[in-house]
Structure 1
Amino acid sequence: MKLTKIILFVTICLLSFNSFGQSWTADNRNGTYTNPLFYDEFSDPDIIRVGDDFYLAGTTMHCMPGLVVLHSKDLVNWTFMSYAIDSLSLGPEFNLRNGKEAYGQGVWAPCIRYHNGMFYIFTNVNNHGMQVYMAKDPKGPWTHKSMNSKIYDLSVLFDDDGKIYAVYNYNEVRMVELKPDMSGVVEGTEKVIIPAGNNMGEGHHIYKIKGKYYIISANYAPCGRMQCARADNPFGPYETTVISANETLGFQVGWWASNVYMGDSQVPEPGYKFKLSPPGGNRYGAVPLHQGGIVDLPNGDWWGWSMMDFMSVGRTTCLSPVTWQEEWPYFGLPGNLGRSPRTWIKPNVAATTTPSAPYLRSDDFAGPKLQPVWQWNHNPVNTKWELNKKKGSLRLRTLPAKDFLWASNTLTQRVVGPESYATAVLDASALKQGDYAGLAYLNIPYASLGILKTKDGFILRFYDQCTDKTIEQKLAVDKINLRATGDYEKDISQFSYSIDGEEFINIGDSVRLPYQAKTFQGSRYALFAYNTTGVEGGYADFEDFKLVEPLADRSKNIPVGKIITLTNLGTDQLVWANPHGMMHSQGKNSSEATGKGVQFKVHDRDKGQVALEALNGTGFLTVVGIGISGDVRLMKEESKGSLFQWQDMLHNQCMLLSLKTNRFIGLTPDSTEPYAADRPGALPNRKDGTVFVWKVLE
């Protein structure tokens, strides 16, 4: 993979950006939000409302502490609340002991509920059955009960008559009654409520709304969509329909390690030959929005959430407006049901909120405890790590491990997209022979850069498991800055190092970061220290960890007040227009069409809405038709048809959502037809004629 030049360019861009302290938030600070809610992994989300407060729980698998709970007042801005689990004492696999591991296992698809003053989180711990965690306060403490039942991906309903139901299973949907004391299921109550073949899938969410029972599920055949079933009785009969389909927000599946699976009995060791599949549309898995549910606001509005695969970042959470039609809760807007805008107006709640990310991602390790963004890879060995508050460092004492993936006390946090870079300061002076410590990507394949202590001194060691490539060079110092610079829309990263903390030197080629189903997680930054010779060694001190997100500041991503041109990404042709319509420039490509494209002035119309005025004297870009026509013209007078919700696709790319049709402006590439506001949304590759590249003219 000779992508170093690309990464060098990305690194320069990152270093020149001045928004070092900002982290991605969905809130655009103008009354709108842009998906995803977090640009890092939050898979299998479940949301409830209690009064004016919203609570969100999600999958954490083998990482500890686990079973995270977040809090929000507006469904857009979230803060960390608690972890329900400190560690899992269910076997040696959770401790990376005796040749056993729990990668991709552990906590799956939780269901959070509130009933009679008590919060409940139901979850499957894979291979150990259903568990429930309970607390009067979502901040904890949480108490735990094993429910002695092999139920997974469940959803729970506390019904009005006092009965408690759980729905679960794949394809053939089953329901069972739970005991009020949460000791297990009521024997003899299990029943198939929706037979196989009704496209209901898994990851169910059950609700009772206005006397009817609704179940929302994720179906993965052929590529992912959201189904809804409803009935007058909890045990059916149910009728079903599709409520969300084909919505990818313009994102493809990324690179995929196709020969690494969740059920593998062996962790790939150095030298393993990975089979990597390149990106390509919807060819694998549930790329479109899937596995989510719905929640109501105090004012009666409804909103939906779901997850979507965002390449090496992992599976993220997205928010969608819900439109009720014929008593079905469709994701999307009237006139465009089943599709969700990437950017939309924030939920209408009474609370005044400020943009906030759920975590502080950088850590100087000077506090009394680790920032909650950190999770250990499997259970930690608590006697072998500590915070040195006097020095301001994280101390990891080395334990024997045959490889990085078997190392105890590896401290991780999720990578953040679309681009970010992490810098760790390592003091290796106390390492002993055979100790290896540094910064890594926890992924399969993994990659690492650190200091190895040998009998001859210190070695700077880089290793890429994907290519099985090792680079070692002598090091004259024992303190170093280690950096991983990631472009997570391309699934690549570059390692570099610095002696003085100013000048960073790349080492090795760029690292490929494919998604895979062994860890079943996106890539993670990892601080590690272990001994390679089978003994306990010394220790490594990490004095600082900084994470920088160059694209987190999106305040200039709508060119309000600027004069721009628009180039169709699918055809590489400038937009031109006359009073009769909006169409391609006459040149074969943008360079040949110079001077033929229309220049538009972008007028701010509040809440991320814009009007585009053509500067050729023909007026405002306006939608004059509805439905299939969605006729786009230039009109002298601005009207409601002239309003568009700007969809920020990053990288100077956008879509224009007509607020008259609730559909997007676009055309069919290679067609002679003019533009129309009739498109439901973008294809994953963004080449379908719906996405524009905008350029500001000086």
Structure 2
Amino acid sequence: MKKIICSFLLGLYTLCGIYAQTWTADNGNGTFTNPLFYDEFTDPDLIRVGTDFYMVASSMHAMPGLPLLHSKDLVNWNFVTYVFETLDLGPDFHLEGKKGVYGNGIWAPCIRYYNGKFYIFVNINGYGLQVFIADRPEGPWTHKNMGGTIYDLGVLFDDDGRIYAVHGYDEVHLIEIKPDFSGYVEGSDRVIIPKGSAMGEGHHFYKINGKYYIISADYAPVGRMQCARADRPEGPYETTVISHRETMGNGQGWWTQGYGFWSDIPDEGDKFTFQPPSDNYFSAVPLHQGGIVDLPNGEWWGFSMMDMRSVGRLTYLSPVTWKNGWPYFGVEGNLGRSPRTWFNPDTGVETEPHAPYQRDDDFSSDKLNPVWQWNHIPVDSKWKVTKGTLRLHTLPARSLMFAKNTLTQRAMGPESTVTVELDASALKKGDVAGLALFNTPYYWIGAVRTAEGLMLRFYDMVKNVRTDEPLASDKVWLRACGDFRNDIASMAYSTNGNDFKTIGEGLRLGYQMHTFQGVRYALFAYNTNGKKGGYAKFDNFTVDEPLADRSKNLPVGKIITLTNLANGERAWANPHGMLHHAASGSKEFNEASCRFLVHDRGKGRVALEAADGSGFLTVTGLGLSGDVRLMKKESKASLFLWQDMLWGNCMLLSLHTNRFVGLNPLTSEPYAADWEGTRPDRKDGTVFAWEVYSEENASK
């Protein structure tokens, strides 16, 4: 199956000329589709300064760290800077010792702006709370180590100049920070929300209209977002759930077991086991660990993350509706649930759709593209970009996770293929260099200089199996293909740049808490003989994303059929004016009634007309049913916001009820627009497989 991705799809990319296409949330029609980025952006925090928005995220052990993005519209983001190039707090940060800082670096930052200065607060396990301060987001940023054991904190600069931080899991603490950031006000640490009050971690702390709000992620009993509210910083607080069960139709992935962020670095030959996806749909998948931000026009928006299998934790944007003084994620009529596709925030700014990073790199510049990060602090004298190539000198390492100067970038979902050229002519005996699917566990393909000559090697860490075959040329093209919907990958190579041979397929990917990151594509070079060896030259790194171009995923002007994923039955408009499913047993059913013409009504809105011209699908109620009927005349209740679920799947969000069209597959009830959302398995009756009608597929 993966050979298809590595060969057929790459040929398709070439024919279509879409090598530069990468995921952007902006649909170009006034709507966006989540996630904001289809690569990892963990633990986001976001602020507005005037008409500008700034967002930061965790970067763990990667260097440079603390990526800072800027936006004018909350949908399209630009890379600004990394807050630091290197953060050196000891030997572990240089990948020395048994642990390194895998999974223990930058966790859950908090960004704030106060009195003309930007502040970023972040805990580093074992080293305490760090604060970075700058006059401009571009920097320079000064760094102070405040110590303590505060993590996943939210910070508030109050109106009287006092600085508070909330922190802790379940039992929420409040502590006051000294104004010079030299430490904490003595005796100020106190419990403000006791254990068992359903608050979690990843706190975001706000003062809004005179009240204090704390938003956090609660994982017991299920992943969701809680909000606490009080009249004073110290409380007492009341709490409520503001977002729950929102997976947007995405299920859990595989987990690597046995390696957490306190574990020693696993070595080749260690045993690995995987935990398959849980049947508990809502245990940890839903939107969580987020906060809120306001627009100049008074709108409010929510941001959060969601675990998206082995590609990592992705960032999501949600409209916020205030109700009874609480900021619910979602829209009126469907609070607590977020649309996958919604209308762009009304910032008054129109922006061309774009992504924050350029992912391809031909190394023709004198510096690396910002998308690259090193695994721990690099040895700067042992790498350089020169003569249009990246040169990595080999340093001694027992295996890949111990190798210094490994260069990584986040894998792109939901599917992506990377290719890189490797010139191995300068490798010395014992040197190995190549391309890795970097994770715990990992897989790699590359060149090895042995006593017998230059060899092409593939290594599978799960099976602890390596395969070697001679290389007749010093130059080889390496490829990795990731299917992050199914947590499966493959690797391949070519000796001419065109004909690729798959050498590792069906490779199980997973998420884990050792690196606490999703899969990364990595370029590496090290020496297995305990010496400083030669060097490897890399060139023309490309990233191809077959699902990034979604322009044809809204079939306006087409006649389509809709097949419900829950029961495999097509939706049809019966003569009694109801949208029904084909296996209802009605003698009046006919094939023609299963076809709908999709009319474009602007900004992602569509009207669905029965293909025989007998009427439009229209929601006729606002009460308990929200019946979907066939009405001769189109009205506002005939408008649906098309939800692109990828892979030929969609949902129909009624703009009359702000709920989804669906049915109970176990009954004979017709469709109604009263469904909150879908389950991760997409088989609850709200998700359709759509297909453009043709005589050829009519009989399927």
TM-score computed with the length of structure 2 as normaliser? 0.96
User: What is the alpha-carbon distance in structure 2 between the residues aligned to residue 17 and residue 342 of structure 1?
Assistant: 28
Describe the SS at the equivalent of 2:505.
coil
Does residue 60 of structure 1 match 2:59? yes
- What whole-Å deviation, never above 9, does each CA across 1:149-197 have from its counterpart, x for those lacking one? 2111111100001111000000011001111111111011111111111
Give the match's secondary structure for 1:683: coil
CA distance in 2 between counterparts of 1:121 and 1:485 reads 36
Q: Is the contact between residue 569 and residue 686 of structure 1 (CA under 8 Å) also seen in structure 2?
A: yes
What CA distance in whole angstroms lies between the structure 1 residues aligned with 2:73 and 2:85?
Answer: 28
The residue aligned with 2:273 is 275
CA contact (8 A) 2:281 2:680 kept: no
Alignment-derived partner of residue 484 in structure 1: 480
1:171 counterpart residue number = 170
CA distance in 1 between counterparts of 2:686 and 2:6 reads 29
| 1:671–1:14 distance in 2 versus 1, CA, 3 Å | farther
1:306 Cα offset (Å)? 0.3
2:677 pairs with 678, 681, 687, which one?
681
- Once the two structures are superposed, what CA deviation does each residue of 1:448-469 show, in whole Å capped at 9, x if it has no partner? 0000001221000001111222
| Alpha-carbon distance in 1 for matches of 2:354, 2:645 | 21
Equivalent of 1:375 in 373, 376, 383: 373
Letter in 2 for 1:286: A
**Correspondence 1:86 to 2:64:** no
Residue 631 of structure 1 corresponds to which residue in structure 2? 627
Which amino acid in structure 1 is aligned with residue 18 of structure 2? S
CA separation in 1, counterparts of 2:317 and 2:167? 24
Q: Secondary structure at the match of 1:440?
A: strand
Following the alignment from structure 2 to structure 1, what is the Cα–Cα distance between the partners of residues 659 and 560?
A: 22
Matches of 1:170 and 1:546, distance apart in 2: 41
CA deviation after TM superposition for structure 1 residue 276, in Å: 1.1
Residue 12 of structure 1 and its aligned partner are, at CA, apart by: 5.8
Q: CA RMSD in A?
A: 1.6
Residues 487-498 of structure 1 mapped to structure 2, 5 A cutoff:
487-498=483-494
Q: 2:285 aligns with which of 277, 284, 287?
A: 287
Contact persistence 2:2–2:481 (CA under 8 A): no
Query: What displacement does 1:669 show?
Result: 1.4
Query: 1:569 aligns to what?
Result: 565
Alignment of 1:259-658 (within 5 A): 259-264=258-263, 266-282=264-280, 286-388=284-386, 391-578=387-574, 579-586=576-583, 595=591, 598-658=594-654
* Alpha-carbon distance, 1:49 to partner: 0.1
Distance 1:276 1:12, change over 3 A: farther
> What corresponds to 1:45 in structure 2?
44
Which residue is 2:698 aligned to? none
SS in 2 for 1:49: strand
Aligned to 2:693: 697
Letter in 1 for 2:578: G
Distance 2:590 2:182 in 1: 72
Q: Which amino acid aligns with 2:454?
A: F
Q: How many residues align?
A: 690
Letter in 2 for 1:101: G
Which amino acid in structure 2 is aligned with residue 85 of structure 1? F
CA distance in 2, matches of 1:186, 1:17: 61
Distance 1:410-1:115 versus aligned 2 partners, 3 A rule? same
| Alpha-carbon distance, 1:260 to partner | 2.2
Q: Distance in 2 between matches of 1:416 and 1:624?
A: 42
**What is the identity, as a one-letter code, of the residue corresponding to 1:297?**
L
Task: Give 1:74's aligned residue.
Answer: 73
CA distance in 2: counterparts of 1:10 and 1:152, whole angstroms = 44
Query: How far, CA to CA, are the matches of 2:306 and 2:204 in structure 1?
Result: 17
Cα distance in 2 for residues equivalent to 1:692 and 1:369? 46
- More deviation in 485-494 or 227-236? 485-494
Question: Does the residue aligned with 2:385 lie in a helix, a strand or coil?
Answer: strand
Task: Indicate the residue corresponding to 1:126 in structure 2.
Answer: 125
**Conserved in 1, the CA contact under 8 Å of 2:107 and 2:152?**
yes
Which letter does structure 2 place at the counterpart of 1:562? K
Q: CA 1:88 to 1:47, structure 2 compared with 1: closer, same or farther past 3 Å?
A: same
Shift of 1:278: 2.0
The CA distance in 2 between the partners of 1:280 and 1:148, in whole Å, is 38
C-alpha separation in 1, matches of 2:325 and 2:12: 50
Structure 2 counterpart of 1:189, which letter? Answer: S
Q: Secondary structure at the match of 2:570?
A: strand
- Does the 8 A contact of 2:217 with 2:225 survive in 1? yes
Quote how far apart the aligned CAs of 1:510 are.
Answer: 2.5
TM-superposed deviation, 1:696 = 0.5
Opposite residue 300 of structure 2, the aligned amino acid is W
**Paired residues of 1:260 and 1:518 also in contact (CA < 8 A):** yes
Give 1:3 deviation, angstroms: 6.1
Question: Could you say what secondary structure the match of 1:507 adopts?
Answer: strand
Q: CA deviation at 1:286?
A: 2.1
Q: How does 1:81-160 map to 2 (within 5 A)?
A: 81-160=80-159
Q: Structure 2 counterpart of 1:413, which letter?
A: Q
Match in the other structure for 1:253: 252
Q: For 2:593 and 2:65, how far apart are their aligned partners in 1?
A: 54
Offset of residue 668 of structure 1: 1.1
SS in 2 for 1:508: strand
Deviation at 1:566, TM superposition (A): 0.4
Per-residue CA deviation, residues 430-481 of structure 1 (Å, 9 max, x unaligned), is 0000000010011011000000001221000001111222111011111111
In the alignment, the residues of structure 2 paired with residue 16 and residue 505 of structure 1 have an alpha-carbon distance, to the nearest angstrom, of: 20
Q: Structure 1 pair 260/9, CA: closer, same or farther in 2 (3 Å)?
A: farther
Contact 1:153 1:169 in 2 (8 A): yes
Deviation at 1:544, TM superposition (A): 1.8
Amino acid at match of 2:581: H
Paired residue for 2:243? 244
SS, match of residue 573 in structure 1: coil
Distance in 2, matches of 1:5 and 1:82, equals 38
Could you tell me how far 1:8 is from its partner in structure 2? 5.9
User: Measured at CA, do residues 360 and 125 of structure 1 come closer, stay the same or move farther in structure 2, by a change above 3 Å?
Assistant: same
How far apart, CA to CA, are the structure 1 residues paired with 2:282 and 2:612? 46
Q: CA deviation at 1:233?
A: 0.6
Provide the rounded CA distance (Å) in 2 between the counterparts of 1:649 and 1:380. 40
Distance, in Å, in 2 between the alignment partners of 1:51 and 1:6 is 45
AA aligned to 1:582 is: L
3-state SS of paired residue (1:94): helix
In the TM superposition, what is the alpha-carbon distance from 1:222 to its structure 2 partner?
2.2
Please give the secondary structure, in 2, of the residue aligned with 1:586.
helix
SS of alignment partner, residue 510 of structure 1? strand
Deviation at 1:627, TM superposition (A): 3.2
1:350 deviation in Å? 1.8
Taking structure 1 as reference, are residues 363 and 332 closer, same or farther at Cα in structure 2, changes over 3 Å only?
same
Change (3 A) 1:608 1:320: same
1:450 and 1:190 map into 2 onto residues whose CA distance is 53
Deviation for aligned residue 1:6: 7.3
Among all aligned residue pairs of Structure 1 and Structure 2, give the percentage whose two residues are the same amino acid. 61
